[in-house]
Structure 1
Amino acid sequence: MAYPAAVMKRLAVELSDLVASPPEGIRVLLNEAQLTDVRAEIEGPAGTPFEGGLFQMRLCLPADFPASPPKGLFVTKIFHPNVSTSGDICVNVLKRDWTSETTLRHVLMVIRCLLIQPFPDSALNEEAGKLLLEEYDEYDKRARLMTNIHAMCLAKRGPTPLTASGANAGGTSSADTHAGKKDKEGGAEGSSPTLKKAKSDNPKAAAGAAANSTMAKVKKGLKRL
């Protein structure tokens, strides 16, 4: 699917900004093979049934973006009134409140807020919506169980690399698979000397080096547009 150069430039600028300055509790992953398939990891907010979990999601941009909103989808299973059993997200910012000026940052922040304040009146998961209104303790129990089963394992695994080239619908990238294979074979950690040194010296430095590498690739793409 071909997008106008102006749309790709806007998208590259937004993604670059999200990587450089991520919103609280949100981490955007770049799919270099397809920037229009936006992937993110959302930390379950404290004080909610989703606390401690790490939820992977996608924003799929339509052909007429930004005239039409993206489609939001949770890849990680979640028990929530405004998320269907197949992962579709129901939130006004992706429907009637969408405008061509709405940013991806705003969309992601609203979706995380949805984990704090669900809206059962517009439920896609009617069972979750009914329990939230009538039997909150049971809703809380079910939501925490789903979080423990599906999202806690992701949180324990740690964050996905910033660049997720060729990531599949389950959120695992070809880069992850390749890295795992090299680990088993006792191979090198990567081709970048900067990243190698950062990994051995300081995990935070490694994350910074990865972010800088990703930013450079986005800026390089911008120059071609």
Structure 2
Amino acid sequence: MKTKRAFRYVGTPDPMSDKEAYHCEKYIKKHKHSLVRAGQYLVDVSALHALFHLDCWNCRTVHRETCCEGGQPYAVEEWQIPIMEGEIPSISAGLQDEAERNHWLLHGVWDRNEPRGTIRMRHGNCLFYQENNGRYGCAIHAYAEQAGREVEPLKPYSCQLYPIDLIDTGEGILLTAVTNETSSFSRWGTDYLEQFYCASPARRKLATHIDDKLFALDGYRPAYKWNLPLLRYILQEEAERIEGILGSSYQLER
């Protein structure tokens, strides 16, 4: 009897559903001749060149809520838990609300009713979604920038990867991005493609009621270009090789 392969999202212990795994395996089979093997990675060149514009600071200006609101990220892997915990006193020290700081230190940051590594919700949002100098965003990211620390090991991967996805198939790691064709198995689903301008130049082009400077059409770039620091951190020795593959393909397309 054939053993079923385990598919999982890299960067989180949260499993893919059977349906997502099925669609992912089907996608790989369909595109097996166009996926480029680089070490343990299967590079989905076409998807990684899909256009996005991560004009994140202006997201709340044009949308009712941002992707950081109304939920929390996928749980983080075991290795990242002590790293985050060690920085919580420093991160919480940057909070403007003293009551919020005390709440963090009293209750911690993990949801004990969910799988280990799951961040707690606070006021309906991820605990780390906080105000900083009049703007709302990730307290981890703000702390890393202000303290001159690397954000990659501190911030949950699933908060950094978008619009890229990394999926461990058991026989290699698929490096792809969310597109209409991959959304059936991507951790990002269909919401970004259907609702947010960052993922759809065509949808943004139709939004003539929005100032041209917000999610400007000339600001859309290939998906992989938004995540190069994180990709280099994750891919390690394969990073330069994969960047070369993607860069060469981009030049050919142009």
Report the TM-score range of the alignment, normalised by the length of the smaller protein.
under 0.3
Q: Comparing both structures, which one devotes a greater share of its residues to helix?
A: 1
